Amino acid sequence: MQHLVDTNDLSDSQIRQLLDDTARFKQQMPSQLLRDKLLITLFFEPSTRTRSSFEVAAKRLGASVVHLDPSRSSTNKGESLEDTFANLCAMEPDGVIIRHSDNQTPGLLADMEMTSVINAGAGNYAHPTQALLDLFTMREHFGGDVAGKTIAIVGDIVSSRVASSGIRLFRRMGMNVLLVAPEQFMPQSDLPQFERLEDVLDKADVIMSLRAQLERHAKPLFDDYAEYARHYCITKERLADRDTLLLHPGPVMRNIDISDEMLSDPRCKVLEQVKNGVYMRMAILKLLLLDA
């Protein structure tokens, strides 16, 4: 049984296989590879992209999906998460896709070895499927290898599981990673750190903008996000005519993270990331439920 708690659960050859399968599925939709498979989604935090993308991916492959809404589940009557999970596993799903505010939860459930656990986002620690789809989007854009390319991650890095998983995966793939943030949003890291966005614009092949993760701030870190945007919003004036790939995992805070104008600029691939997310999650489900 294989889990996906973070990308370090995957070997190099499995990552290569995921990238190849994603490209293949994008060229031609596969047949019902996962008919007879059953997945359960369990999202303790809100989601638009990840949850619907997993459901679309599973259904495109012929699998069935059951969603348990935690706000209406027996966890609200005092049942522990482990017991809820064990009861779901008694229904013999082939995998459980979980999002939780706690960094450790997907790993703890995976260690119970009852079904394949797929992390759909845990605290500020890991969002492996986002990192993989972002890697695919960059490889597609550059026509292959990303080794030696430079990505600048801009925004609330300290609170971001997208940044955490991305940094681990992109470094593993040989990319240079630069961190750009005000001190409130900057994590402890051995990576190059910049407070001024202007200082990385000529170095970056890719800019990944992140929203402020307000739900993870114990107290407000910024009084005024208009002031934040004045320094960190990706605008056409800032990017000028540079040939930079612009990514954002979503949800985008318009005109704080990225300007309206840049969101419709061809260099911005936010919706392409979402499209690629379906194909990457199809590849992930195939790997975990069929191949592993």
Which window, 25-33, 80-88, 225-233, 246-254, contacts ligand CP (CB under 6 A)? Answer: 246-254
Choose between 55 and 94: whose C-beta lies nearer to ligand CP. 55
- Of 180-219, which residues contact ligand CP (CB under 6 A)? none
Of 95, 107, 121, 123, which one interacts with ligand CP (CB under 6 A)?
121
- Does 47 bind ligand CP (CB under 6 A)? Our answer is yes
Which window, 7-15, 19-27, 46-54, 220-228, contacts ligand CP (CB under 6 A)? Answer: 46-54
Choose between 116 and 276: whose C-beta lies nearer to ligand CP. 276
First to last CA, the chain: 7
Of 10, 249, 270, 276, which one interacts with ligand CP (CB under 6 A)?
249
Least spacing, CB of residue 223 vs ligand CP, in Å = 25
3-state secondary structure of 30: coil
Spell out, one character per residue from 130 to 149, where the chain touches ligand CP: x when CB under 6 A holds, - when not: x-------------------
Give the gyration radius of the chain's Cα atoms: 19
Choose between 24 and 216: whose C-beta lies nearer to ligand CP. 216
Amino acid at position 111, single letter = D
Least spacing, CB of residue 47 vs ligand CP, in Å = 3
Pairing of strands 206-209, 176-180: unpaired
From residue 2, how far is each of 135, 140, 268, 290 by CA, in Å?
21, 27, 34, 10
Q: Which ranges constitute the DSSP H helices of 61-175?
A: 81-89, 105-111, 128-142, 161-172
Choose between 47 and 64: whose C-beta lies nearer to ligand CP. 47
- Does 50 bind ligand CP (CB under 6 A)? Our answer is yes
Task: Tell me the number of residues near ligand CP by CB under 6 A.
Answer: 10
Burial track 126-158 (b if 16+ CB lie within 10 A, e otherwise): bbbbbbbbbbbbbbbbeeeebeebbbbbbbbbb
Both tokens of 155, joined, read 């925004």
Of 205, 250, 283, 284, which one interacts with ligand CP (CB under 6 A)?
250
Least spacing, CB of residue 127 vs ligand CP, in Å = 6
Residue 236's CB is within 10 A of a number of other CB atoms, namely 13
Choose between 133 and 177: whose C-beta lies nearer to ligand CP. 133
Least spacing, CB of residue 275 vs ligand CP, in Å = 13
Least spacing, CB of residue 77 vs ligand CP, in Å = 27
Angle, to 10 degrees, between the axis of helix 128-142 and the axis of helix 12-27? 70
Instruction: Report which of 122, 147, 119 is spatially closest to residue 135, judged by C-alpha positions.
Output: 147
- Does 106 bind ligand CP (CB under 6 A)? Our answer is no
How many helices and strands, by DSSP H and E, does the chain display? 10, 9
| H or E element in which residue 228 lies | helix 225-232
Of 8, 48, 87, 101, which one interacts with ligand CP (CB under 6 A)?
48
Residues that bind ligand CP (CB under 6 A): 47-50, 121, 127, 130, 249-251
